[in-house]
C-alpha cells in the first residue's frame, strides 16, 4: 500500500510539472521563419525606441526571425542597410498565463552563438496573437511614468 501511495504521488508530481498542451501547440505553430513586418505604438507620435537593447525599431522592420522550439533558440537577422546588419541569437520561453484566454508571456533573451548571455538580460513580452500565418508581440514600457505599448507584428514565411 505504501508503494502505491508513493507511486501515485510521484505520477501526480510529474504530471503537474509538464508543459500544457496549449504551450506545446504554440511551439509547433511558432516553429520556422517569420518576418517582423510592422511595429506600432499605443500612442500617436514619433518615438525613439530601441528594441531588445539592440537597435532602433526602423532596423527591426523587415528583419527575419527563425524559431527552433525543440531547444528554445532562434536567430533574428537585421537586413536594413542603414543599420548594423547581421544575425543575432536568442533563447526564448513561452509561458502560459491564462488557459481560458490563451494569453502567454514570451520571454526572449539575446545570446551569443553558443546561447550564452553576456549580461543575463531578458525581455518579457506578451504573445497576444499566434496563428499559422500571423504573430503579434506586445511590450509594455513606461513613457513619462505612464504605460506605453509597443506592438510587433510578424508574418510567417513559406519555407
| 55 neighbors 78 (Cβ within 8 angstroms) | yes
Which is more confident, 128 or 26? Answer: 128
The CATH number assigned to the domain with range 21-156 reads 2.40.128.280
Res 23: pLDDT = 57
What are the extents of the domains in the chain?
21-156
Res 4: pLDDT = 43
- Share the mean pLDDT of the chain: 83
Over residues 97-155, the pLDDT tens digits come to 656 555 678 899 999 998 888 888 899 998 888 899 999 999 988 888 999 999 999 99
Residue 6 has pLDDT above 60, yes or no: no
Residue 32 has pLDDT above 90, yes or no: yes
pTM of the model: 0.79
Res 109: pLDDT = 95
For the residues 30-43, what does the mean pLDDT come to?
A: 95
Most confident of 20-24, 59-63, 120-124, 139-143: 59-63
Which is more confident, 35 or 28? Answer: 35
| 65 neighbors 94 (Cβ within 8 angstroms) | no
Spatial CB neighbours of 137, under 8 Å, sequence gap ≥ 6: 106, 125, 126, 127, 128, 151, 152, 154
Amino acid at each position: 500500500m505504501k508503494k502505491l501511495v508513493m507511486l501515485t504521488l510521484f505520477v501526480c508530481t510529474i504530471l503537474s510539472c509538464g508543459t500544457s498542451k496549449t504551450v506545446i501547440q504554440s511551439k509547433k505553430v511558432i516553429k520556422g521563419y517569420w518576418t517582423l513586418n510592422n511595429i506600432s505604438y499605443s500612442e500617436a507620435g514619433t518615438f525613439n525606441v530601441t528594441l531588445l537593447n539592440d537597435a532602433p525599431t526602423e532596423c527591426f522592420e523587415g528583419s527575419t526571425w527563425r524559431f527552433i522550439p525543440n531547444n528554445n533558440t532562434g536567430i533574428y537577422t537585421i537586413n536594413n542597410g542603414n543599420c548594423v546588419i547581421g544575425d543575432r541569437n536568442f533563447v526564448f520561453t513561452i509561458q502560459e498565463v491564462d488557459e481560458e484566454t490563451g494569453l502567454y508571456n514570451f520571454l526572449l533573451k539575446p545570446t551569443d552563438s553558443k546561447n550564452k548571455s553576456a549580461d543575463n538580460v531578458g525581455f518579457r513580452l506578451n504573445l497576444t496573437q499566434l496563428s499559422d500565418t500571423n504573430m503579434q508581440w506586445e511590450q509594455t514600457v513606461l513613457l513619462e511614468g505612464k504605460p506605453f505599448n509597443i506592438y510587433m507584428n510578424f508574418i510567417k514565411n513559406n519555407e
